[in-house]
Amino acid sequence: MQSKININISVDSVEALSKKTLTDNIFVMDNSSFGSQGQGTATLATACAPGQEIHWVATAIDLQTPVCIQNICFLPDALPAVTVATGTDDSTTAVEETEDSKAEQPAELMSQLDLYTWTGYLPYCMVPAKPYRYQLVLQIGNGKNSVLAIDTLSLIWE
C-alpha cells in the first residue's frame, strides 16, 4: 500500500472567476493505487485506507493566475447529496441547506495562503465503504468574488 496519495486540483482560474463557480472549472486527479472513481472531474472519490497520508495541491492551468487552497473541511453526514459551488456575494445559484448543515459559506479573503501545506493522515477510526465528503475552498486572487467553494469531492476506504 502506498504511504502517500497526492490529489492534484487543476483550476481554470479565468473561467472560475468569470462564471463565479468552480463547477466545470476544476479537474481533480489523484495517484491512488486503489483506482479512484471520477478522475479528472470535480466528483473525484479518492480511494484510500487508514494510515495513509493525503496531500492536496492546487495548480492553475494558466500559470500566471493565482490559485490557493483556502480551506479543506470535512462535511458532517447530515448534508444532502446535492451540492453547488457559490461565491461570496449574493449569487444566483442556490444552496440547499438542511437544519444540520454546517458547511459554512466561505467569507473573507486570507493572505499568504501559499504558506499552507494541505496534508494529513487518515485516522484508524475511518469506516469502510463510506464516502467522507469535504468542502474545498479556493481563493483565486484578492477580489470580491475570489473565494469559491465546491463540495462534490470525497475520500473513501473501499
Partner 1 sequence: MSQEITIIVLIDIQAALDANTLDGNIYLIDNLRTDGSTGVGTGDLTTIINGSYWCNGAQATEVITNWLTTGIGSLPLTLPRDFYIKRTAEINNELLNDIKTSAATVLTKIESGTFINDLNGHKRALGIKPLTVTGDYFDSHTDDPSSLSYLTPIITNISGEAVDKGVLYTCQLGTPVYIKDGWYWCATADTSKVGIYSYTLHVTLFKPVNNTYEPVQMTYDAKIKVTSNPQVNGFTKAGMGILPL
- Binding residues vs partner 1 (CB under 8 A): 53-54, 60, 63-69, 71-74, 112-123, 125-126, 132, 139, 141-142, 155
Question: Which residue's entry shows cell 459554512?
Answer: 104
The gap from C-alpha 87 to its chain's centroid, in whole angstroms, comes to 14
Q: How far is the CB of 64 from partner 1 (least distance, A)?
A: 5
Q: How far is the CB of 20 from partner 1 (least distance, A)?
A: 19
Pick between residue 93 and residue 114 the one whose CB is nearest to partner 1: 114
Pick between residue 93 and residue 130 the one whose CB is nearest to partner 1: 130
Q: How far is the CB of 123 from partner 1 (least distance, A)?
A: 5
Pick between residue 77 and residue 90 the one whose CB is nearest to partner 1: 77
Q: How far is the CB of 70 from partner 1 (least distance, A)?
A: 9
Alpha-carbon distance values, 32 to 28, 36, 117, 156 (Å): 12, 7, 19, 11
Pick between residue 38 and residue 53 the one whose CB is nearest to partner 1: 53
Answer for the pair 16, 26: CB distance below 8 angstroms, yes or no. yes
CA distance 34 to 43: 17
Q: Which is nearest to 118 in space by CA: 97, 135, 106?
A: 135
Answer for the pair 72, 22: CB distance below 8 angstroms, yes or no. no
Q: How far is the CB of 66 from partner 1 (least distance, A)?
A: 3
Pick between residue 93 and residue 100 the one whose CB is nearest to partner 1: 100
Answer for the pair 22, 42: CB distance below 8 angstroms, yes or no. yes
The gap from C-alpha 17 to its chain's centroid, in whole angstroms, comes to 16
